[in-house]
Structure formats: C-alpha cells, structure tokens
Amino acid sequence: MSAAVASPLASNAALDVARVRADFPILTREVYNKPLVYLDSAASAQKPRVVIDAESRVYEEEYANVHRGVHYLSQVATDKFEATRKRIQTFLNAGDENEIVFVRGGTEGINLVAQSWGRANLKEGDEILISELEHHANIVPWHLLAAERGLVVKGIPIHDDGQIDMEAYKGLLNERTKMVALTQMSNALGIITPAAEMIALAHDAGARVMLDGCQAVSHSTVDVQALDCDFYVFSGHKIYGPTGIGALYGKAELLEAMPPWQGGGEMIARVSLEKSTYKGVPHRFEAGTPAIAQTIALKSALDYVTDLGLDRIAEHEAMLLNYATERLNAMGGITIYGTNSAKASIVSFTMDGVHPHDIGTIVDRDGVAVRVGHHCAQPVMQRYDIAATVRASFAVYNTLEEVDALVASLQGVKEMFA
Amino acid sequence: MMDDLRDLYQEVILDHGKSPRNFRHPEDCNRMAEGDNPLCGDQLTVYLKMDRGGLVEDVAFEGRGCAISMASASMMTEMVQGRNEADARALFEKFHKLVTGDDADVNGEDDEDLDKLIVLSGVREFPMRVKCATLAWHTMTAAMDGDETVTTE
C-alpha cells in the first residue's frame, strides 16, 4: 500500500478529540480575544505536552554533547539521541537503523541527496523527473544540481483533479531518467500520489526515487520497504515534533556508496593536515553538533502518534476534510483545488472576487489561522493559473466546530466583499 | 466585524479593489517595471509615460493581487498623473510613512494628498500587509529608476 489514508476497518474506537486537545497546551490560548482555531498544521503542527517536556528534560537533566564524551552525561545524551534513530527506523519500517540520517528537516535531506548522491551519480544529459505537485524544497535542489551538471529537469503533469497523469509519467520515463523526485502527498492540495506504483515504474526504467514524505508522514503509516523508495525524507515539526530535526532514509547500499556532503567534526575517521578519512553511514553525513534536544524529543512525538494510532488519526482527519469540503461547496462561490479522492487533511480553495490574502487577514481576526499564498509550490499554482489559494489543514486536534468557525468567518468575508 | 478590519477594508478600498482605475497597458508608455511580492506570488506591472522634463503624462498598471494592493495601485495612478517625478517620489515617501505609522504628524490637516490616501492608513495595524500596500509604489519608483523588476523582499 502506498500512502493510503485511513483504512476504515483499522480502528476500534474513534479518536477522543477532547482528550487529545488537552495534550496541546497552546490550544487553550486566545488570539484577538477569540479562541484559537489552528488550521495551519500542514505548515507546522503544534506540540503536545510530552514533546515539550521531553525537550525541557534534556536541558534540565540529560544534556551534553553526543558521540564524543567519556563522561556520564555524554553517554546518557548519546544513548537517547541514538534511541531516536532506532525509533525512526521502526516508524518507517526501514531495514536497518544505519539507513536513517539525521538532518535539519526535509529540505536538508533532499539537498543532501542531490549534492551527495546526485554529484556522484549524475552526468550531463541525465534526466530528473519532478511532479507539478512538488514543494520548492523538492524542486530547487535539483535545479541547482542541474545547472552545475548539465542535467535536464522535466515536470510530470497532473490532471485537473490534482492527481498525477500516469500516462504522461510513463511517457516521460526513459533510459536517461536517473531520478524521480516525488511527493507522497501534496502540501498545496492534499493529493496523495500513487507513490508505490510510480516507484516500481521508475525502477523498471532504471531510475532512483526520492520520496518527499513531509506531508504524508503524519497522516498515514509509512513503510519504506513496502514502498521500495530509494530515499525518503520527513521533518519532525510537521509530525508534532520539534523544529530543526528531520530524517533522511536511504537504502544502505546507496548511502554506503555516497560521499560526505558537509565536512566537520563527528563525521571523520581520521584527519591529518593532508587528508581526511570518513566514518561509515550514517555518521558520515552528520557533520557538527546536531540538534540534540530536538532529536531526543522527536522520539516522544513519534511515540505519541503511534500511541494514538495513525489509522485513527487519519480517520479523524478524513472526517474533518469531508465535512469541510461539503460545507465549503455548499457556500457557493468557492473553488476547491485538488478534487481527486486520494487526498488527506488539506483543503485548498479560492473565493470568487476575493483575494486569498484578504481572506487570510480577515479570518485571522476571528482567531482562524489558515495559510494563504502559493504554499512554496508555485508550479501547481501556475498549473491552475492562480497566484494563491487559502489552505486549511487539519490535524489530530481539530474539531468539526473549528470547521464551522472557518465557514462562519468566510461568510463574513463574503458579505464584506459582496 | 472588528473595527480595525473595517478601517482596513473601507468601502473606497473595496471599490478600487473591485474596479481598479487605469488598469491597462498604454501603448505609448516609455517606462515600465514589474513588481513581485514573493510572499503571496502577486505580480503587477506599472507603466509610465514621462516627458523629458520628468512629468508623468500617463500612468497605468496591470496585474493581480489582493484588495489592498489593487486599491493602492489604483489610487496611486489617479494621484501621480500630471505630477513631476520628484513630486511623485515625495508622495510615495509620505504614503510610506502613513502606512507604516512612522510619522506622528502624518495625519496633518490641509494636505489634500493625505486626505485621499488616509483610507489606506488602516494597513498600519496589519504589518504583514504593508508590502501589499506599497508594492505598486515601489514598482513605480523602479520604473522611474529604469529598473525593470522589483520585489518587496
């Protein structure tokens, strides 16, 4: 199964959203004397108490640098730090914990692959395929590499409903295709791509696949071995974890053949003034002191979503998405982008006669936080010939009442501009 | 609806936003510049027809953007028409102070320009939107400078 949303059979009991909300301290605050309605989790998710506490506890009780001290605290910090690596391995069902490289986030992970794997493996005339759904983070690193190496970057088109045009994709694959850089779930539209099928097709053509899981990872169970992707990235902050930490998964045989991409401490075997030799994977890719407390706290975030159950989370979010879609369609004058049924947790729309930025400003004063703009995905905006949309994104802690609050606020916008 | 929102979206702004004045591409323009607001992806182009002495004989714009940026661009074209370059730049300076709240006496009476532009002063309560209000003006001065693109970043 690729990035399937909820399997309706998977859960026993529905999510107790009131209990979940109590886990997130920030949700009790008000903005402009209105209850906060946070519908921007696709940009960054709020943090549960267990994550906040875990990060604080590191500084209060467990903090030292990792991997180099012989003293007690350094050992404690190192053990906890490496425990997150092991946790990410099981979370993604990677075959080995050494296939997990810590990075600052999805963006850095993709840059690592482009700069290290790409420079070592790609030559002039080679082709990279990216889809029209990609976030700039899965476009620009390939443009940088293409300019340096004379590579050709081609776009995989989407249908009007936002889904990948598979026939066009098949037509683009050829013996020069060396990399397919694909999102598992569009951050701008919420569309879930048929990643497993696309990966198999890429492999048949002899290409590698970089799967961007930044959006998908908090809405579905990910199994990198079942997907058979060559690389996978996600960011901790979108899955209720801290900022500054994310992970790159890479197949062991690929990572082992890749050169370092940043030099410094922590990644070397031996250094003299004339030359350096490097550690094995994954440490070869982790130069410098990492985000120690954030890495340790990321484990708490992964434990948190696992304990709640990703299937139950997905089911809850699907209910919110369906309800929001119905209510927005009933309003009239609303155009939703991304109408394919393979979709999770994001509704992206425009309102006739009102620019998204004006909508964002007005609903904000009602306490409703949505993202307006191009969502760092300008190619998909160009595909629909729009400059921007309003994006409401739903997470485990959102409620039907919050969807109502959004719709009520949008009614106010509509009246104001009528 | 809250008061500062009403101040921001006054009728006159909604009107200019919906039916912007001088929204066209004059064939005889001799200066132009494109303005980008990377934050929202909005783009507009300002066209100027200036004579040798720096008089703005015609000014128009095209593009898409929010009500604030469209209204500000529309009002700018109405006010800049027939002024000389230095005067137009001075007007932008005054306007900039108005929307950023930089100048305490910017609400001063007996200033016809400010009387018109004051409808946009609600923006100062919305710092994220100042760039929307000033995009057209930055683009106009870029056209006067001979720069072909300008961004609000």
* B152 closest CA partner among B131, B128, B137: B131
- Residues of chain A whose beta carbon is less than 8 angstroms from a beta carbon of chain B are 32, 353-358, 361-362, 365, 372-374, 378, 381, 387-388, 412, 416-417
**Per residue in A160-200, pLDDT tens?**
999 999 999 999 999 999 999 999 999 999 999 999 999 99
Q: For residue B9, which residues of chain A lie inside 8 Å, CB to CB?
A: 358, 362, 416
Total domains in the fold of chain B: 1
Closest residue in B to A32 (Cα) is: B2
**Tokens 């609303």 found at:** A334
* pLDDT, mean of residues B29-46: 88
Cβ atoms of B60 and B47 within 8 Å: the answer is yes
Chain A residues in contact with B43 (beta carbon < 8 A) = 387
Residue range of the domain that includes A326:
17-48+309-417
Q: What letter represents residue A351's amino acid?
A: M
What's the CATH number where B76 sits?
Answer: 3.90.1010.10
First vs last C-alpha separation in chain A = 46
Instruction: Let me know whether A44 and A186 are in one domain.
Output: no
Q: Examine the domain organization and report whether A62 and A138 are in the same domain.
A: yes
What does the pLDDT average to over B4-30?
92
- Domain C-terminal end among A306, A341, A376: A306
Q: Across the interface, do A416 and B14 touch by the CB < 8 Å criterion? A: yes
A227 and A252: one domain?
yes
Can you give the pLDDT at residue B105? 55
The number of angstroms, rounded, from the C-alpha of A88 to the middle of its chain's C-alpha atoms is 14
pLDDT of residue B103: 64
Q: Which two tokens stand for residue A167?
A: 């026939």
- Distance of residue A142 Cα from the nearest chain B Cα, in angstroms: 21
- Tell if the CB–CB gap between A381 and B41 is shorter than 8 Å: yes
Q: Which amino acid is at A330?
A: A
Q: Is residue A340 part of a domain?
A: yes
A70 part of a folded domain: yes
Q: Tell me whether residue A2 is in a domain.
A: no
A265 and A139 share a domain?
Answer: yes
Residue in A20, A63, A14, A19 with CA at minimum distance from that of residue A45: A20
The CA–CA distances, whole Å, from A146 to A123, A143, A348 equal: 9, 5, 31
Higher confidence at residue B40 or residue A240? A240
pLDDT the model gives residue A190: 98
pLDDT tens-digit profile of B70-84?
999 999 999 999 999
**Closest by Cα among A307, A318, A319 to A342:** A318
A229 annotated active-site? no
Chain A residues within 8 A of B68 when measuring between CB atoms: 357-358
- From A306, A326, A360, the end of a domain falls on A306
Q: Are residues A210 and A195 in the same domain?
A: yes
DSSP string, A144-158: HHHHHHT-EEEEEPB
Confidence of residue A126 (pLDDT cuts 50, 70, 90): very high
Nearest to A412 among B1, B126, B132 (CB): B1
> Pick the catalytic residue: A52, A64, A362, A376?
A376
More confident residue, A6 or A19: A19
The pLDDT of residue B107: 54
Buried b (16+ CB within 10 A) or exposed e, A354-381: bbbbbbbbbbbbbbbbbbbbbbbbbbbb
- Kindly report the average pLDDT of chain A as a whole number: 95
pLDDT above 90 as % of chain B: 67
Instruction: Determine whether the interchain pair B5/A362 forms a contact, defined as Cβ–Cβ distance below 8 Å.
Output: yes
Assess whether pLDDT exceeds 90 at residue B106. Answer: no
Per-residue confidence band for A3, with pLDDT thresholds at 50, 70 and 90:
very low
Min Cα distance B41 → chain A (Å) is 5
Last residue of a domain, one of A284, A306, A328: A306
A292-296, A345-349, B105-109: which range is least confident on average?
A: B105-109
> What's A97's domain CATH number?
3.40.640.10
Distance from CA of B39 to the nearest CA of A (A): 7
The pLDDT value given to residue A2:
46
Q: What is the pLDDT of residues A193-221, one digit of tens each?
A: 999 999 999 999 999 999 999 999 999 99
Smallest CA–CA separation between A389 and chain B, in Å? 9
A10 domain residue, yes or no:
no
Q: How many domains does chain A have?
A: 2
Q: Is the pLDDT of residue B2 over 70?
A: no
Q: Which helix (H) or strand (E) holds A276?
A: strand A276-278
Q: In percent, how much of chain A has pLDDT > 90?
A: 91
CATH number at residue A23: 3.90.1150.10
CB pairs under 8 A between A and B: 55
A142 occurs within a structural domain: yes
Closest residue of A to B70, CA-based? A355
Contact B41 A417 (CB under 8 A): no
A264, part of any domain: yes
Q: Which of A205-209, A265-269, A358-362 has the lowest mean pLDDT?
A: A265-269
